[in-house]
Structures are given as C-alpha cells and as structure tokens.
Amino acid sequence: MSRRHRTEADYAAPHPVYCVWELTLACDLGCRHCGSRAKDARAGELTTEECLDVVAQLEELGVREVTLIGGEAYLRDDWD
C-alpha cells in the first residue's frame, strides 16, 4: 500500500484534506493505553446509509485521506 504524504499545498487548501472519523465505540479489546474505554456501540451511531452519505460529503469537500478510529471500526457488521 502506498502512503500519500501531505504537502504544503494541502495545508493551504481552502478545504479539509484529512479527516479522523470515530466510526463506532464498539470494541472487543480492553487496551490499557486507550482513552476511550470503548466496549459497546453507542446509541445513535450513524446508520450505514448515513455513513455512506458522510463518505460522499467528504469526497465532495476534496478530502483525500480518512483515518478510522473508535473502538474497532471493523466490528460494524456493515463495514467491510
């Protein structure tokens, strides 16, 4: 996998180029270093359709890099 490094132009861009997205708080681990102490998904987390809408909005904004955090993003049944 290649890694794209942000450039000076990215920092001057009139739109976000990087996004950190806390997709869910669901987590099956209890890491001591994790500040979120996540366990179960929170009520009111975005639905699949809402997540896809966010993805479309990020694309429209010109975001080129997204980091998924949480809990464990891949615990969502709808996120492959």
Three-class DSSP labels, the chain: CCCCCCCHHHHHCCCCCEEEEEEECCCCCCCCCCCCCCCCCCCCCCCHHHHHHHHHHHHHHCCCEEEEEECCHHHCCCCC
Task: Return the pLDDT at 1.
Answer: 44
64 assigned to some structural domain = yes
Domain membership of residue 38 (yes or no) is yes
In the prediction, which pLDDT does 13 show?
A: 66
* In-domain check, residue 28: yes
Q: What is the pLDDT along the chain (80 residues), one digit of tens a residue?
A: 445 676 777 667 677 889 999 989 899 887 888 766 668 888 999 999 999 999 999 999 989 899 998 888 888 888 76
Domain span at residue 61?
A: 24-75
Asked if residue 9 is part of any domain, the answer here is no
Q: Is residue 34 part of a domain?
A: yes
pLDDT at 37: 67
Number of independent structural domains in the chain: 1
Which pLDDT does position 50 carry in this prediction? 96
